[in-house]
Structure 1
Amino acid sequence: MAAHTDITPPTTAAPPSRRRMSPSRRVSLTVGILYVITFVSIPTLGLYAPIKNNVGGFILGAGSTTAAQWGAFSEVIVGVAGIGTAIVLYPLARRISPTAALGFVAARLVETCLIFVSVVNLLTMMTLRADLAGTPGVSPALTTMGHGLLANYTWTFLLSGSLMPVACDLFIGYLLFRSAIVPRFFPIVAFIGAPLLLASDIAVFFGAYPSVSPLAVLAALPVAVFELSLGVWLIVKGFTPRPVTAEFDTSRQVAVV
């Protein structure tokens, strides 16, 4: 009689569950990416050169509009990304300071609205060029309109791309300093760079030097360093664990359940 052998099939170990990204890490990663995206408009300094150097010739049909179109498109991206940094950060930021969090959102909205207004001036110039360039008798008026639209763009850009970042960086600098969710280096640079940029904006406003002069660029450098380095840090490292991030993660996880 053959012996009965009890063969138990081998058990298969359950695959380890994938560790989910915490809500605060998702926020820091998203905000970091959006901050880096806001730097895509840097090439506009070169893309807009044909317009700024010869606005009369441009609006009368000289040269190509491709560079200006790409520049305008990149500024729209910057505006949308700027709003995104404030909106994505808001649910966490309001736990640190509701006033500063709301102020950051409001400043970003104003900044983006002004960016869009400045872009509309350039797009209007290209529309006039397409519709009226070459029409007999309109050259003097068209040239005057081109200079007016360029002036509107220049002053609007001073408010959107230079003045409003002062408010934005003071608000977020306060939030970061108070919460210590990133190294103190970042808010300190913001607190140094924002007043320096404000002083430069006032100097430009009163005609001390042009908005694209070396002094203006130098004054804007600390703010640029703050925003770019903060974006890279948030992508690579994220927020430093603090009670506010732990509470945020717990509340979000409970809300999902």
Structure 2
Amino acid sequence: MAEDQRLARIFGVLYLLTFITSIPALLLYEPALRHPEALAAGAGNVNKIYWGALLELLLILANIGTAVVIVPIMRRQFEVLSIGYVTARIIESTFILVGILAMLGLATLPQDTAGAAEATVAYTLAAIKDWTFILGPGWMVGWGNGLILGYMMYRTQLVPRPWPWLGLIGGPLIIISGTAVMFGGGHPSGSLQGLATIPEAVWELFLGVYCTIWGFRREAPILSEGARQGRRLVSPSAT
């Protein structure tokens, strides 16, 4: 039980780190994403991009960590889904990494290119970054953190039962809104995607705060001695 609660608190801290790294990174990127042509002309602050890239590299580590640390617990009841959650986090992080590379390419444009094509290349790199946000944090998250993790948390009762509904509702909202944006239903960083992200963001923030402070619910059947020893666990909701 003590080891499970240690993993729970690591899980919570890592989720809080995803907020601590992702939000400042977005703010640091914002000027370059709004006016990439200025950066291409050498008028922007490339150090902001480098700091943003560093924060997003830490975000990738935190993202994958949130999945890896709970595999030993979740696989007692959901062996396949727990691996699926890790996979979803890796795919999400791959999109983030592509976005980092696009921003670093944008930062080096003033030194590496010259001529009228700079602005076009800058806008292209900024667009790539926007789309990696839609496809990674804005679409894959709906499957991983929303549906898969929400379902596992609901069934295992590791957190209070009402809260996983935020993920189970927020996940499809992100998937639907991201798909709508993909087919021209809005801008990648527009209000549609922003509103659809709210339930999922609250769900993830809850996981960070709750698990960091209280750990997992000690009454959860998956934390029982029998479950830890590898006996087949049947969720009460399935009976």
Question: TM-score, normalised to structure 1's length?
Answer: 0.83
Following superposition of structure 1 onto structure 2, how do residues 234-253 of structure 1 map, counting pairs within 5 Å? 234-241=211-218, 242-247=220-225, 251=229
Following superposition of structure 1 onto structure 2, how do residues 34-49 of structure 1 map, counting pairs within 5 Å? 34-39=14-19, 40-49=21-30
Say which of 70, 87, 98 aligns to 1:89.
70
Distance 2:134 2:226 in 1: 37
| Ranges in structure 2 where 5+ consecutive residues have no aligned partner | 231-239
The AA in structure 1 aligned to 2:107 is M
Say which of 43, 55, 71 aligns to 1:62.
43
Q: Which residue of 2 aligns with 1:77?
A: 58
Distance 1:41 1:51 in 2: 16
| Ranges in structure 1 where 5+ consecutive residues have no aligned partner | 1-20, 133-137, 253-257
Q: Is the 8 A contact 1:92 1:248 kept in 2?
A: no
2:161 is the counterpart of 1:146: no
% same residue: 36
Distance 1:163 1:62 in 2: 33
Distance 1:67 1:183 in 2: 40
Matched residue pairs, number?
Answer: 227
Structure 1 SS opposite 2:69:
helix
2:188 is the counterpart of 1:221: no
* Per-residue deviation, 1:190: 0.7
2:161 is the counterpart of 1:184: yes
Distance 1:192 1:36 in 2: 21
Question: TM-score, normalised to structure 2's length?
Answer: 0.89
Q: Which residue of 1 aligns with 2:12?
A: 32
Q: Is the 8 A contact 1:115 1:156 kept in 2?
A: yes
Distance 1:109 1:49 in 2: 25
Q: Is the 8 A contact 1:60 1:139 kept in 2?
A: no
Structure 1 SS opposite 2:43:
coil
Larger helix fraction of residues: 2
Larger Rg belongs to: 1
Distance 2:117 2:67 in 1: 42
The AA in structure 1 aligned to 2:140 is M
* Per-residue deviation, 1:248: 7.8
- CA 1:117/1:248 → structure 2, altered by over 3 Å: closer, same or farther? farther
Structure 2 SS opposite 1:41:
helix
Distance 1:217 1:141 in 2: 32
Q: Which residue of 1 aligns with 2:237?
A: none
* Per-residue deviation, 1:45: 3.4
Spell out, residue by residue over 1:207-252, the C-alpha distance to the aligned partner (whole angstroms, 9 max, x if none): 1111222222111000000001111000111111233212389559
Structure 2 SS opposite 1:48:
helix
Following superposition of structure 1 onto structure 2, how do residues 100-179 of structure 1 map, counting pairs within 5 Å? 100-132=81-113, 138-168=114-144, 169-179=146-156
Q: Which runs of 4+ in 1 moved over 6 A?
A: none
Spell out, residue by residue over 1:125-184, the C-alpha distance to the aligned partner (whole angstroms, 9 max, x if none): 21222333xxxxx22122221111111111112111110111112111111111111101
Q: Is the 8 A contact 2:221 2:227 kept in 1?
A: no
